[in-house]
Structure 1
Amino acid sequence: MNFQRLPLFVLILFTFYGYSQSTKAGPIIEDYGAVWEIHNPDFVTDTTQEFKVAFDVKDGPESDTELNRNINTVARFLNMHAQSGVPVSQIKAALIVHGTAARNLLTNEAYKKRYEAANPNLELVKSLLDAGVEVIMCGQSSKTRKLPKEELIPGVKIALSAMTANILLQNEGYRPIKL
């Protein structure tokens, strides 16, 4: 072997090793929210802290058959922190939905009636609810977009407004993240 090329070989080997790693979902949301493992971060996560986050999601995908990546971010948040050693009991999340993302909270039946497709977000939202995420629909969006509570995925709550839900959750110590 030509030892002058050894550094190049090692660089290529480590580059491929880095790219060969894959994302992993779970342990909180098994089928969604895959994340990369970060080895030896310079900004270390304090796993003794409580993580309380209110995700504000206003935008939905343009396609009726596309998963809302902003809602999937909530699953990513849960999984990445659990994978990094934060106890599940210290991770609390709320999802506040309004605007064009509001339709993503419809049952399959209501979604099919409106968009002639199955709701691609149904299982993701159900998984979030099962994991204890408080999913809140803006009441103003519900009325404006004609999305009554009866047509929402069971467990989704309706608030007076997204603004109201944001304020109330912040008063409870949740940190807002706008997506």
Structure 2
Amino acid sequence: MNIYRTPLFFLIIVAFSGFSQTTKTGPIIENHGAVWEIDNPDFKTDKSQEFKVVFDVKDGPESDTEINRNLNTVARFLNMHAQSGIPASQLTVALIVHGTAARNLLTDQAFKKRYKVGNPNRELVESLMNAGVEVIMCGQSSKTRDLPKEDLIPGVKIALSAMTANIQLQNQGYRPIKL
């Protein structure tokens, strides 16, 4: 029996053909935030509304050389919506960082001084800020973890606390996503 001519073989090929797609980055964050294309979703995305969101990120990777997957999720959010036809002008994003993720906002120099390697998240954080994401460091985490403003990637803002920044942004209409 020739396996290549059986109905089961064709069924297997068709079933796995959907898995041959690849993820794609961009158009907002080119080197991070790869997403899958979703063909004809049942729950349609309203492309006319504004997507105003605040991401709350407290957990960072254990390794000093890993990208923080939670920070990468912010890039994915931007890319997936832009790839789906939502203009960047309708994507308003803030990122609040605290806890073990706080160190991911250090400059390469400050990160090297502490961990002996460059910050693997620096390029991602800079790309997010260049795309208009407001990046906010919890002031309490800054003090607790001895991460002074001068050691942070330029453009990162320090708030009184992550809690305070979350309340203020939600009062401004941002929808919270806790990662």
TM-score, shorter chain, exceeding 0.5? yes
Other-structure match for 1:148:
148
The one-letter amino acid paired with 2:129 is: L
Cα distance change, pair 3–105 in 1 and its aligned pair in 2 (3 A):
closer
Q: Which runs of 5+ in 2 are unaligned?
A: none
Q: Which runs of 5+ in 1 are unaligned?
A: none
Tell me by how many angstroms 1:4 deviates: 8.3
Q: Show CA shifts across 1:83-115 (max 9, x none).
A: 011111001111000000000000000000001
Q: Show CA shifts across 1:104-157 (max 9, x none).
A: 000000000001111000000000000000000000000000000000000000
Secondary structure of 1:31's counterpart equals coil
TM-score, length-scaled by structure 1: 0.96
Cα distance change, pair 9–143 in 1 and its aligned pair in 2 (3 A):
same
Contact 2:3–2:9 (8 Å) recurs in 1: no
Q: Show CA shifts across 1:53-87 (max 9, x none).
A: 10000000000111000000000000000001111
Other-structure match for 1:85:
85
Which aligned pairs between 1:35-114 and structure 2 lie closer than 5 A?
A: 35-114=35-114
Cα RMSD for the two superposed structures: 1.5
Runs of 4+ in 1 over 4 A off after TM superposition: 1-4
Tell me by how many angstroms 1:12 deviates: 1.9
TM-score, length-scaled by structure 2: 0.96
Mapped partners of 1:3, 1:24: distance in 2: 32
Other-structure match for 1:29:
29
Mapped partners of 1:161, 1:2: distance in 2: 63
